[in-house]
Chains A and B, each alone.
Chain A
Amino acid sequence: MNRLAVELPGLSLKNPVMPASGCFGFGREYAKLYDLNVLGAIMIKATTLEPRFGNPTPRVAETPSGMLNAIGLQNPGLEKVMEEELPWLAQYDVPIIANVAGSTMEDYVEVAKHISKAPNVHALELNISCPNVKKGGIAFGTVPEVAAELTKLVKEVSEVPVYVKLSPNVTNIVEMAKAIEAAGADGLTMINTLLGMRIDVKTAEPILANRTGGLSGPAIKPIAIRMIYEVSQAVSIPIIGMGGIQSAEDVIEFFYAGASAVAVGTANFIDPFVCPNIIAELPALLDELGFDHISECTGRSWKKGGPTVYCGA
């Protein structure tokens, strides 16, 4: 038995740990450092219809136990991702989750339609929560009706299951999650970054050229845990959890909250080997905690010893 294997819609994962979108590019940089085959999956950088340069620099600013970023969805565009990045990634036996972004609903639909046809794309991650673009992104992720409408449109054209990436920048995340589930989403990924800002004490100017950016890193972990805890009890679709994960212990905490798999984001920037290290450490931690299989951990903070819903093979 593979104690780490999990089954999610569209995804048979040898382990539940994957790099989060925007923190791993298209894998090329990390492939120089380790064999990407060890990863459960890869969430590739957000892809838009046309190439995007993104925002001016500075694009990052450090904060207590976290960082702000305002990259602005820089990517080479759908065509190049389809012709160069995805075929290159096909050398690895790792399912790809394609993060889909756009400025209009039509953009999302168009990208989803094409990218879901790539043989190694096993699921889509609908990015309705990027806080760093003027049009689109978070604008689709803060009004439940809009998010539901977009989910429905993308579901109609996608050839693979659709996960929707939730923004924490909402008052009621449960309401949002339920609307997206009702619209036909196959799963949720959460959380994206929190909108934040830093101002230079000497110049009184915002540090980021974009003024505001998305806060990530260990600073946001308690928020992610709380939101997953709430949402996982309110929906029956699985959750891929993310937000400040740095260690195997963090992974278990996300599972306890209600996640069925996890993504590691900012930690890749600090320790490029963090994903393989966490994967290697998980079995010993399961032993220590007395679990046979990692899926036993899902929702443990609120379940009363009932059966685990998304059980692995």
Chain B
Amino acid sequence: MKTEKMTIVHHERIAKNIYQIRLAGALVAEMNEPGQFVHIKVTEQANPLLRRPLSLCDINKEADECTIIYRAEGAGTTLLSQKRPGEMVDVLGPLGNGFPIEAAKTGQRALLVGGGIGVPPLYELAKQLVKKGVSVTIVLGFQTKEVAFYERKFASFGETYVATVDGSYGTKGFVTDVIDTRITSFDVLYACGPKPMLKALEQKFPNKEVYLSLEERMGCGIGACFACVCRVPDSETAYKKVCSDGPVFKAGEVVL
């Protein structure tokens, strides 16, 4: 974990309010696990004050580059979306514990489920799983067609299904609707997305090996500020920090 001024080498809008940014720097050498995130300071000024936690979408060690996909929503990410190639951003990372690749064995099948802006980290995950010889099936859920992205990129790794809540693209409904009708079997489930989606998946597959990546408002990103804690089952005082114990947890490890 370090801080580095990384150079923007590519920046484009890939769907409505969804941006893909590619950063170059020595920090990439430390990036290994899919599901890890970086903490980006979008301005040298005090406003907005805090860093923005954004998960890694693609790690390209040969080129010393990493790709991040984010939604321009608040003041910070909107400012970030206005930055151009050649400019620098202050990056702290890589942070957190990512998806365990070792949970899926060569020859097994993994189901990857992403919701909205939870989709990006599954890309590096799919890449690493396929490289290891794990078959992947991918289910992506979006609100509507205009915010959907990366279907074709995922399709290069395995069977890919898309659901939209309003039915404007793919199956109408949620990722669970796709899973109910299309998915027959898998060995390990990896998911990232909104909490209701993660909860539904946890309840649906109580006997499967399931790994969930959580999102929570963060302060420091390194475990010091206690902003992003979640409860541990059957305890009044036990907790895990999403930033430093997670953001990926095994299903049942924390209370969703």
- The proximity string for A residues 48-61 relative to B, scoring 1 for CB distances below 8 Å and 0 otherwise, is 00011110011111
The 3 closest A-B pairs by CB, nearest first: A269-B220, A60-B227, A65-B46
A243 to chain B, nearest CB (A): 13
A9 in contact (CB, < 8 A): no
Contact of A217 among B1, B49, B216, B244 (CB under 8 A): B49
Contact A59 to B227, CB < 8 A, known contacts A33-B1, A53-B236, A272-B92 = yes
Which B residue's beta carbon lies closest to that of A216? B49
Contacts of A218 in B (CB 8 A): 46, 49
The residue that A271 contacts in the complex, of B3, B47, B229, B244, with Cβ under 8 A, is B3
- On whether the beta carbons of B217 and A270 are closer than 8 Å, the reply is no
Number of interface residues of B (CB under 8 A): 32
Contacts of A272 in B (CB 8 A): 3, 92, 220, 222, 224
Q: Is the CB of B227 within 8 A of A71?
A: yes
Nearest residue, chain A, Cβ from B52: A62
Is A65 a contact partner of B225 (Cβ separation < 8 A)?
Answer: no
How far, in Å, is A162 (CB) from chain B's closest CB? 25
B220 and A58 form a contact (CB under 8 A): no
Q: Does B29 contact A (CB under 8 A)?
A: no
- Across the interface, do B219 and A53 meet the contact criterion of CB distance under 8 Å? no
Q: Are A53 and B51 in contact (CB under 8 A)?
A: no
Q: Is the CB of B47 within 8 A of A64?
A: yes
- The interface stretch among A24-32, A189-197, A297-305 is A24-32
Instruction: Report chain B residues within 8 Å CB of A103.
Output: none
| Distance in angstroms between the alpha carbons of A270 and B219 in the assembled complex | 8
Q: CB within 8 Å of B: which of A105-124? A: none
Residue A66 contacts which of B3, B49, B76 (CB distance < 8 angstroms)? B49
Complex contact B49–A32 (CB within 8 A):
no
Q: Which of A24, A61, A65, A269 has the most CB of B within 10 A?
A: A269
Please name all residues of chain A whose beta carbon is closer than 8 Å to the beta carbon of B92 when the two chains form the complex: 272
A54 touches B226 (CB 8 A): yes
Kindly list chain B residues whose C-beta atoms are within 8 Å of the C-beta of A69.
219, 225, 227
Question: Mostly helix, strand, loop or mixed at chain A's interface?
Answer: loop
A208 to B41: give the CA distance in the assembly, Å: 22
Interface size class of A (residues with CB under 8 A): 35 or more
CB pair A67–B224 under 8 Å, yes or no, is: no
Of B48, B217, B236, the contact of A57 (CB 8 Å cutoff): B217
Interface residues of B in 86-112 (CB under 8 A from A): 92
**A99 contacts the other chain (CB 8 A):** no
B189 interfacial by beta-carbon distance below 8 Å: no
Q: Is the CB of B3 within 8 A of A67?
A: no
Decide yes or no whether B50 CB sits under 8 A from chain A. Answer: yes
Question: A33 to B220, alpha carbons, bound, how many Å?
Answer: 13
Across the interface, which residues of A come within 8 angstroms of B231, CB to CB? Answer: 53
Binary CB contact string for chain B from 225 to 256 against chain A (1 if under 8 A, 0 otherwise): 11111110000110100001000000000000
- Of the candidates A25, A51, A270, which one forms a contact with B49 in the assembled complex, judged by CB atoms under 8 Å apart? A270
Instruction: Tell me whether B223 is interfacial, beta carbon within 8 Å.
Output: yes
Contact partners of A38 in chain B: CB under 8 A: none
